[in-house]
Amino acid sequence: MPEHSIPNERAAAITRIRTAMIEKKMTQAELADTACCHEKTVQNLLAGRQVRDQTLFDVCAVLDLDFEAIKEAWSGAAVSGPMELKGEGGLAAPVYMGAYTRAAVDHYIGTYLTVRPSFSKPGSYVAYRTDIIWDPAWPSLLFEESDRPDVAYQHRGRIYVPTSSMFVHLVSLTKGAMRMVMISQLDQTGHMRGLITTLNRQGAVLIPVSAPIVYVKREDIDAEQDLGEVESVHTRHETYQSLIQETVADGYAKLIS
């Protein structure tokens, strides 16, 4: 569709998308990568050509734009298929995230004590808080870390729930940098166990690391007693050591050197 023939309302929507890209300092390639689509698709969208509702939805989610307002301005151009599934719990997550409904994952919502080995101090552990909520603006589970001793490296991201797997994925993606936590589905005891893969600073460089990790659903967390750097003299050290050892012994994570 030539640019001069784009309807005024759709042109206004494109302007809002371009403005949001500028505000977030995102290139077309970066937007395509974060929205999980091809760069050519983003180019078509910015040119006012037909795109799927799912694409428009993902772009709006990345740019923090009101999807319904943008779609309305788009005047129904994207008609290749339904944007999402409907479920008893409301709108579903995008298909590439597992197409799960809130009703299916409502039990994940809550606060978790998160424990993993320290990357820099052998024999020590790091414990922090992770909150999982449902994000209605981008229908999916959202996780957010807090009370980490290394505050600068706290992560926030989305949870992917494959339809035929006993594991779920906590993924954070920032300007191409990805961290993934693969953990078992929440069990009746409130535990999720698995493996974290990320980068760790050692001196002047960042190197890839993996380690067992455990999430324990808790109603109350005592920041002074439960969180922080847990060395051998800490009152929680033996408890956290058992959590990590059980994760490996029970087959939730396997480290191969």
Q: pLDDT averaged over the chain?
A: 86
What pLDDT digit, counting tens, does each position of 127-173 carry? 999 999 998 877 899 999 999 988 878 888 999 999 888 999 999 87
Consecutive H or E run containing 54: helix 53-63
Q: Is 87 a member of any domain?
A: no
Q: Is 83 a member of any domain?
A: no
Range of the domain at 21: 3-73
What pLDDT digit, counting tens, does each position of 89-132 carry? 457 888 888 989 999 999 999 999 999 999 989 999 999 999 99
Q: Is 171 a member of any domain?
A: yes
Claim to verify: residue 148 and residue 236 sit in the same structural domain: yes
Contact 35, 54 (CB under 8 A): no
Residue 1: predicted pLDDT = 40
CATH number of the domain where residue 69 is located: 1.10.260.40
Claim to verify: residue 178 and residue 138 sit in the same structural domain: yes
CATH number of the domain where residue 149 is located: 2.40.128
d(CA 78, CA 63): 19
Residue 185: predicted pLDDT = 96
Residue 78: predicted pLDDT = 40
Note if the pTM is more than 0.85.
Answer: no
Claim to verify: residue 116 and residue 68 sit in the same structural domain: no
Say which residues have a Cβ less than 8 Å from residue 19's Cβ, sequence separation at least 6: none
16 exposure class (CB count in 10 Å sphere: 0-12, 13-18, 19+): middle
- Structure tokens of 99? 């197409």
Claim to verify: residue 138 and residue 66 sit in the same structural domain: no
Number of domains, the chain? 2
d(CA 62, CA 23): 12
Claim to verify: residue 222 and residue 112 sit in the same structural domain: yes
- Look-up of token digits 């050290």: 237
Q: Is 254 a member of any domain?
A: no
Claim to verify: residue 118 and residue 238 sit in the same structural domain: yes
